[in-house]
């Protein structure tokens, strides 16, 4: 099947979020873990390539994004979407702008938009400033993120140092006036040589208007919400054939493991809530891990009843994370936790777990890579932006839920298990 829309995501939970929102349109969406080594064959109309480049050095992120673009072009894609976090998760040294500029060069286009809004999950943009719920980004818990602490809420100031061309803003007052006004402001910016356009959005209707105005741009960038209307628009333009699919629930045995490497405020609540339901839990201490390795937690896990869905978590509050990072360094602390949770995933699979729930974007990348998954199909959405996905690991059908740190309700880990029963 010829691919029409090609998407590149900078982390794995971001990729499943995007795939879930695109799949709401009914089109078949498939998700590739990393850039496939083989040339495209049997691709879906919408393809999402999941990279793990959110915190990668610019050169590396650009090279991987370009390789993904070329694979998607070979698959036939004509429109492209660069997906990053709805909390931006990219500082001055980040790669969102450099990747966008490289993709624009390859696509021979001279303007794109930046719209990380996700109103369903409380992310809105007003006058170029990103909000998380009622708080500006830099006052939200994202200021303490272990890898990408966000200390500025203004997207123009965050993006400016990352790019070589001018940055402009289409603000909410214009967006609220609809697609035609947005289109004419973009045209005026283009005439004045302004390449990178941040666009405000506070409501779903804003995102519809933005997607409508920008649907002919070869490259759009942002969070999943602004991409959500694209399949329907491309169908209306007869670029994408209408082909409804129902990705049925696949039967996987009930043995489950829950792995949490996210320290986000919402994940902290979810871990506490899950433990309060009586679930068995093992708390990872990165300093101990540095000394003993993964053996103690693997021994604990092997002694658990996987039918009762035990939890292994490194989730911790900001002060404790900082103390660990001061001792081990940020990168090493993250790596030790990610490697341990990835080892837990493989050990649990080998012991019979066929349902794996993971909290955290980087963590999901580590787990998915360790499980050797290369393609996921998108199933039922558990909560906004978090679907069940299905893939093959070591010859077994595995159901995998990759949860962004900040997504889901407090009861997410239990809800995810229930959702699979009723999907
Ligand atoms: N207790 C801890 N101390 C230090 N780093 C930690 C701890 N727990 C998790 N981490 C690291 O923090 C990072 C969290 O990022 P991620 O998995 O993307 O979560 P989120 O989705 O919340 O951003 C990972 O690299 C993880 O290994
Ligand atoms: O856009 C979003 O917020 C998510 O799709 C996302 O990218 C999540 O990343 P993590 O918070 O690192 O899981």
**Ligand 1 atom index nearest CA of 147:** 13
Residue 243, pLDDT score: 66
Cα(175)–Cα(335) distance, integer angstroms: 42
The average pLDDT across 57-72 equals 98
Does the beta carbon of 17 sit less than 6 angstroms from any atom of ligand 2? Answer: yes
**What is the token pair recorded at 110?**
């001279």
Condensed to tens digits (0 to 9), the pLDDT of residues 115-128 reads 999 999 999 999 99
Cα(156) to centroid of ligand 2, in Å?
20
**pLDDT tens, 333-372?**
999 999 999 999 999 999 999 999 999 999 999 999 999 9
pLDDT in tens, 126-171: 999 999 999 999 999 889 888 888 999 999 999 999 999 999 999 9
Q: What is the mean pLDDT of residues 283-296?
A: 96
Q: Which ligand is nearest to the CA of 141?
A: 1
Please name the residue whose Cα sits nearest to atom 24 of ligand 1. Answer: 334
Which ligand is closest in space to the CA of residue 260? 1
406 lines ligand 2 (CB under 6 A): yes
* pTM of model > 0.90: yes
C-beta 225 within 6 A of ligand 2: no
CA of 264, closest atom in ligand 2: 11
pLDDT of residue 251: 77
Ligand 2 site, residue 223, Cβ cutoff 6 A = yes
Angle, alpha carbons 379-385-391 (nearest 5°) = 35
Ligand 1 touching residue 220 (CB < 6 A): no
Q: Of the residues 7, 11, 144, which should be mutated to test ligand 2's pocket, given the most ligand atoms within 8 Å of the CB?
A: 11
11 lines ligand 2 (CB under 6 A): yes
Whether ipTM exceeds 0.90: yes
Q: C-alpha angle with apex 367: 245 to 46, nearest 5 degrees?
A: 25
Sign of CA dihedral 24, 25, 29, 31: negative
Mean pLDDT to the nearest integer, 310-333: 95
Q: Which of 261, 290, 294 for a ligand 1 pocket mutation test, highest count of atoms within 8 Å of Cβ?
A: 261
Q: Give the pLDDT mean for 41-55.
A: 93
Ligand nearest to the CA of 85: 2
Is a pLDDT exceeding 90 seen at residue 181? yes
What atom in ligand 2 is closest to the CA of residue 14? 5
Percent of the chain with pLDDT over 90: 87
The residue nearest atom 6 of ligand 2, judged by CA position, is 14
Query: Does the structure show a pLDDT above 90 at 246?
Result: no
Residues in a beta bridge with 135? 132
Q: Could you identify the atom of ligand 2 that is nearest to the CA of residue 360?
A: 13
Residues 6+ apart with CB under 8 A from 238: none
Tell me how far apart the terminal alpha carbons of the chain are, to the nearest angstrom: 27
- Is pLDDT above 90 for 247? no
Q: Report whether residue 85 contacts ligand 2, using a CB cutoff of 6 Å.
A: yes
Query: What 3 state SS string does 318-368 have?
Result: HHHHHHHHHHHCHHHHHHHHHHHHHHHHHHHHHCCCCEEEEECHHHHHHHH
320 Cβ partners below 8 Å, 6+ apart?
Answer: none
User: How far apart are the CA of 379 and the centre of ligand 1, in A?
Assistant: 26
Distance between Cα 299 and ligand 2 center (Å): 31
Classify residue 134 as exposed, middle or buried by CB count within 10 Å of its CB (0-12, 13-18, 19+).
Answer: exposed
Q: Best of 7, 8, 12, 13 to mutate for ligand 2, by most ligand atoms within 8 A of CB?
A: 13
Q: Give the range with max mean pLDDT: 28-32, 209-213, 361-365.
A: 209-213
- Regarding the beta carbon of 55 and ligand 1, being less than 6 Å apart is answered no
Share of residues in the chain with pLDDT > 70 (%): 97
Å from CA of 140 to ligand 1 middle: 17
């Amino acid at each position: 099947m010829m691919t029409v829309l090609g998407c590149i995501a900078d982390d794995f939970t971001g990729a499943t979020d995007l795939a879930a929102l695109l799949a709401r349109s009914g089109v078949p969406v498939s998700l590739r873990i990393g850039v496939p080594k083989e040339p495209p064959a049997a691709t879906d109309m919408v393809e999402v390539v999941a990279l793990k480049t959110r915190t990668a050095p610019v050169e590396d992120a650009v090279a991987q994004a370009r390789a993904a673009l070329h694979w998607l072009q070979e698959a036939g894609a004509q429109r492209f979407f660069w997906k990053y976090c709805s909390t931006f998760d990219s500082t001055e040294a980040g790669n969102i702008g450099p990747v966008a500029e490289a993709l624009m060069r390859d696509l021979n286009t001279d303007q794109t938009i930046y719209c990380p809004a996700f109103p369903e999950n409380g992310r809105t943009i007003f006058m170029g400033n990103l909000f998380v719920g009622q708080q500006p980004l830099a006052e939200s818990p994202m200021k303490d993120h272990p890898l990408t602490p966000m200390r500025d809420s203004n997207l123009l100031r965050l993006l400016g140092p990352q790019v070589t061309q001018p940055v402009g803003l289409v603000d909410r007052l214009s967006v609220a006036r609809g697609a035609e006004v947005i289109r004419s402001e973009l045209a005026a910016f283009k005439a004045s040589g302004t390449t990178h356009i941040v666009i405000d959005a506070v409501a779903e209707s804003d995102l519809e208007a933005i997607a409508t105005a920008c649907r002919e741009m070869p490259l759009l960038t942002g969070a999943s919400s602004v991409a959500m209307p694209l399949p329907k628009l491309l169908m209306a333009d007869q670029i994408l054939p209408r082909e409804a699919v129902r990705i049925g629930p696949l039967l996987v045995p009930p043995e489950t493991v829950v792995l949490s490497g996210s320290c986000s405020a919402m994940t902290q609540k979810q871990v506490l809530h899950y433990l309060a339901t009586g679930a068995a839990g093992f708390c990872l201490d990165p300093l101990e891990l540095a000394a003993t390795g993964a053996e103690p937690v693997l021994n604990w896990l092997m002694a658990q009843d996987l039918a009762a869905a035990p939890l292994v978590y490194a989730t911790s509050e900001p002060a404790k994370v900082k103390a660990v990072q001061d001792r081990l360094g940020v990168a090493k602390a993250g790596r030790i936790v990610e490697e341990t949770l990835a080892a837990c995933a493989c050990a649990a699979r080998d012991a019979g777990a066929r349902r794996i729930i993971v909290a955290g974007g980087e963590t999901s990348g580590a787990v998915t890579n360790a499980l050797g998954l290369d393609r996921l199909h998108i199933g039922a959405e558990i909560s906004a932006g978090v679907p069940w996905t299905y893939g093959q690991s070591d010859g077994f059908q595995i159901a995998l839920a990759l949860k962004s740190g900040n997504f889901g309700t407090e009861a997410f880990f239990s809800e995810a298990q229930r959702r699979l029963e009723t999907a």
